[in-house]
């Protein structure tokens, strides 16, 4: 006898989920509008790819992937919204919550990665999300995660300071401890352990966050999401017209290899999506369109490229000279 397909148990999260979903969809729309405005009338447009999981799939739910390729400013830029439910939390989500192993769950979020064409414009990543899980008969637990981080190929102090200043301002209403905690968490998380180097100049990162309760946790997550455009767009405008040639392009593609290595080897979000049966195209929208690896590539001799690893790709207090 063949068992009928198992449907994910329904968690009693409908009112909370509706609020979070509405915010996330609005955030995705605002970011998409800003992206197309940067491209200008002659630039690329975002493809909107709506999807839903078929009956009987390991996950149930839906989402929208917004993707731009071959733009004037952005070689590839993806911003995805997803809202899914599953019968069992994957192992990557229960490392810190072993009591929820095997519990049904609901997850939703917006995740983006922008890969600019000009090597002097940094790659950026941002993610905000909510998860809820609980065993049958238990009230569901809800927690938040997210953050944003900047990955330059050619470092500029003023860019890193501006980005971190925006991160600190977004978290300030929720306690003076949040920015230093989440900045350190970001430095520790976005570290390529097999290379012994940072992925970029950091930002803020938080995960499994529930200590402020639902209302304040959601407000903090929204504040981080809302701060993204102010943190990143001025940097793009400042660097997008910087002249570059084959040397800078080669270095950009080489350094993009580090980005791919982190996402595939260490990133918990990538592992969560793949382990839970998520949509592969949406999970891997963070991949750059072009990348290169070189076997035992010699250390950079150009002073700006040498400065990347010696001054920028290391944990650093970018706001040390600023009050607050």
Instruction: Provide the annotated active-site residues.
Output: 125
Which residue carries 């905690």 as its tokens?
181
What is the DSSP pairing of strand 123-133 with strand 141-151? antiparallel
C-beta pairs of 305-314 under 8 Å, 24+ apart in sequence: 305/154, 305/251, 307/155, 308/152, 308/153, 308/154, 308/155, 308/255, 309/197, 311/155, 312/152, 312/155, 312/160, 312/200, 312/201, 313/197, 313/198, 313/199, 313/200, 313/201, 314/197, 314/198
**E strand or H helix at 49, and its extent?**
strand 47-52
The CA-to-CA distance between both ends of the chain, in Å, stands at: 66
> Backbone phi, then psi, for 253, in 5-degree steps?
-65, -40
Buried b vs exposed e over 181-196: b needs ≥16 C-beta within 10 Å?
A: ebbebbbebbbbeeee
Decide: 109 and 82 in contact? Cβ < 8 Å: yes
Q: What span, in angstroms and rounded, lies between the C-alpha atoms of 193 and 262?
A: 9
Alpha-carbon distance of 111 to 81, in angstroms, equals 7
Whole-number Å distance between alpha carbons of 250 and 260:
16
Tokens of 191: 């570290």
């Amino acid at each position: 006898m063949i068992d009928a397909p198992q449907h994910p148990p329904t968690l009693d999260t409908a009112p909370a989920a509706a609020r979070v979903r509405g915010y996330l969809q609005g955030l995705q729309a605002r970011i998409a509008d800003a992206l197309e405005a940067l491209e200008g009338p002659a630039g690329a447009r975002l493809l909107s790819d709506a999807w839903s999981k078929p009956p009987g799939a390991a996950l149930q739910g839906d989402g929208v992937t917004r993707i731009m390729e071959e733009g004037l400013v952005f070689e590839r830029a993806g911003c995805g919204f997803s809202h899914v439910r599953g019968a069992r939390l994957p192992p990557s989500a229960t490392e810190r919550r072993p009591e929820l192993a095997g519990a049904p769950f609901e997850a939703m979020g917006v995740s983006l990665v922008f890969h600019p064409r000009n090597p002097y414009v940094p790659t950026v990543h941002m993610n905000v999300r909510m998860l809820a899980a609980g065993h049958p008969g238990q009230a569901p637990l809800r927690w938040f995660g997210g953050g944003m981080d900047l990955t330059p190929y050619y470092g500029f102090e003023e860019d890193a300071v501006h980005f971190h200043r925006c991160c600190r301002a977004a978290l300030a209403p929720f306690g003076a401890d949040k920015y230093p905690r989440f900045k350190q968490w970001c430095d520790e998380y976005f570290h390529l352990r097999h290379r012994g180097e940072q992925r970029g100049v950091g930002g803020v990162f938080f995960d499994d966050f529930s200590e402020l309760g639902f209302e304040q946790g959601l407000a903090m997550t929204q504040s981080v999401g809302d701060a993204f455009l102010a943190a990143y767009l001025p940097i793009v405008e400042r660097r997008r017209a910087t002249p570059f040639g084959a040397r800078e392009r080669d270095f950009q593609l080489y350094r993009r290899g580090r980005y791919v290595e982190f996402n595939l080897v260490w990133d918990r979000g990538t592992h969560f999506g793949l382990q839970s049966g998520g949509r592969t195209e949406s999970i891997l929208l963070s991949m750059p369109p072009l990348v290169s690896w070189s076997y035992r590539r010699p250390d950079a001799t150009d002073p700006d490229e040498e400065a990347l690893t010696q001054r920028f790709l290391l944990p650093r207090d970018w706001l040390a000279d600023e009050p607050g």
